[in-house]
Amino acid sequence: MGIISWIIMGGLAGWIASKITGHDASMGVFANVIVGVVGALVGGLIMSLIGKTGVDGFNIGSFLVALGGAVLLLAIFKGFRKKN
């Protein structure tokens, strides 16, 4: 998947994940894109560790993996922010 596709899918996944976790007001668009792209990487890594296909193209399965990774990343981030 090309870099533009990663950014688009990551931005969308990060935005939806921020809506799900309630971080939308506290994070900007750039942060949502970063969380989404990193979430896609995390989701893809987790999927590959359990022997499944991760983010392998611009499709619904890859988007769901990216979204799951972004939600997981935001939940971890939210947990660290509550402790501080």
pLDDT of residue 9: 76
Amino acid in position 83: K
Q: Model's pTM, two decimal places?
A: 0.71
- Is residue 72 classed exposed, middle or buried when 0-12, 13-18 and 19+ CB atoms within 10 A define those classes? middle
| Cα dihedral 5, 10, 11, 14 in deg (nearest 10) | 170
Q: What is the pLDDT of residues 31-41, one digit of tens each?
A: 777 877 787 77
Residues 1-12: what's their mean pLDDT? 71
Q: What is the pLDDT of residues 15-67, one digit of tens each?
A: 888 888 777 666 677 777 787 778 777 777 777 788 776 556 677 877 888 88
